[in-house]
Chains A and B, each alone.
Chain A
Amino acid sequence: QVHLVESGGGQVKPGGSLRLSCAASGFIFSGYYMSWIRQAPGKGLEWISYISGSNDTIYYADSVKGRITVSRDNAKNSLYLQMNALRPDDTAIYYCVRSDCGGDCPFEYWGQGTLVTVSS
């Protein structure tokens, strides 16, 4: 069955960097579109990045554009999120999420999330 496991979260100081990883299993990773969605403590869901299966289409939310880079290694069944210039309002649980396509497709499978805390 589909399994998504995030790692790499932790506490970091403002201005610092962090790289999140998501290990995927149970499906042909290269055939699916992946997103990162985050949730600040006590707040709602916010989509922040998307990458197509073939790496040729990438989108970012305006709130993080210029500070994050999404990538994937289909040979390793892994998704990554490089986050730089972190701010306290980046504190959130970050979810790795799979969808069948871009646009209209739902976020069908979610990982359990990894917590990023930005604090001095």
Chain B
Amino acid sequence: QSVLTQPPSVSGAPGQRVSISCTGSISNIGAPYDVHWYQQLPGTAPRLLIYNNIYRPSGVPDRFSASKSGTSASLAISGLQAGDEAEYYCQSYDENLIGWVFGGGTKVNVL
């Protein structure tokens, strides 16, 4: 059971927009600690996709966007492409656990 809750999967057709929710609590996202998002393509290490709730590292397309409100955050992918098929994880810091926590991951399927 992950500290941060994500849906197991979301699906969309090419070109569509999908969003992934990440729900935490007052000891992590709501504390408020920043939320970061990672993309893990099959067979590869995760890579940072969004940091500090809304910012994209250099090289990440602006099709990826994110937001945070209260104890939740969300990642949106617009103009869905086949190459976006991957597992996506949210992550934050938890002051009760004194450690870093992840969501369980969401598999994005491109139909």
Contact = CB atoms under 8 A, between A and B. Distances in A.
Interface residues of A, number: 21
B45 A106 contact: no
B38 A108 contact: no
Interface string B93-111: 1000111111111000000
Interface string B41-74: 0000111100110000100000000000000000
A46 B48 contact: no
B102 A44 contact: yes
Contacts of B93: 103-104
Interface in A52-87: 59-62
A50 B91 CA distance: 15
Contacts, number: 56
Classify chain B's interface size.
20 to 34
Contact of A104 (B45, B46, B52, B101): B52
Interface of B: 2, 33-34, 36, 38, 45-48, 51-52, 57, 89, 91, 93, 97-105
B48 A113 contact: no
A32 interface: no
A45 B89 contact: yes
A59 B100 CA distance: 10
Nearest to B92: A104
Contact of A45 (B33, B98, B99, B105): B105
B99 A106 contact: no
B101 A47 contact: yes
Contacts of A112: 45
Pick the 3 closest A-B CB pairs, nearest first.
A106-B36, A47-B100, A106-B51
